[in-house]
Amino acid sequence: EVQLVESGGGLVQPGGSLRLSCAASGFTFTSYGMSWVRQAPGKGLEWVSVISASGDSTYYADSVKGRFTISRGSSKNTLYLQMNSLRAEDTAVYYCAKAYYYGSGTYYDYWGQGTLVTVSS
């Protein structure tokens, strides 16, 4: 059974840092790309970042580029999101999601339960 479990969220002051983790199990972690998606309280979904299966390729939303870094630890089957220079507008529930490949497309079939990040003084 595929499981994705996020952790590392919490309360942080503006300008601070936080590292989120997503522990993956039930599939061959090194064969699938992974994304982070966030949702501010009462708002819609916003894609944040993606990393390829090999870890060689990454992309970011403009809103987090230069501040957030996505990475993966193959030996630990864990996805990370290092978040620096945090702002109030980064307050959200952060979800990790596993890629699913169909034809020439990449979709996201499994999602974690989310971890809440609150940026406030």
Partner 1 sequence: DIQLTQSPFFLSASVGDRVTITCRASQGISIYLAWFQQKPGKAPKLLIYAASTLQSGVPSRFSGSGSGTEFTLTISSLQPEDFATYYCLQLNSYPLTFGGGTKVEIK
Tokens 């996505």 map to which residue?
70
13 touches partner 1 (CB under 8 A): no
33 touches partner 1 (CB under 8 A): no
Contact pick of 20, 79, 90, 112 for partner 1 (by CB under 8 A) = 112
Report angle CA 25, 28, 31 to the nearest 5 degrees: 130
In whole angstroms, the minimum distance from the beta carbon of 77 to partner 1 comes to 19
Contact pick of 12, 34, 50, 119 for partner 1 (by CB under 8 A) = 50
SS3 sequence of 51-113: ECCCCCCEEECCCCCCCEEEEEEHHHCEEEEEECCCCHHHCEEEEEEEEEEECCEEEEEEECC
> Interface with partner 1 by CB under 8 A: which range of 14-22, 40-48, 67-75, 78-86?
40-48
d(CA 35, CA 48): 7
17 Cα distance to chain centroid: 15
> Interface with partner 1 by CB under 8 A: which range of 7-15, 18-26, 71-79, 101-109?
101-109
Name which of 77 and 114 has its Cβ closer to partner 1. Answer: 114
Residues near partner 1, by CB under 8 A: 35, 37, 44-47, 50, 59-62, 95, 100, 102-103, 105-109, 111-114
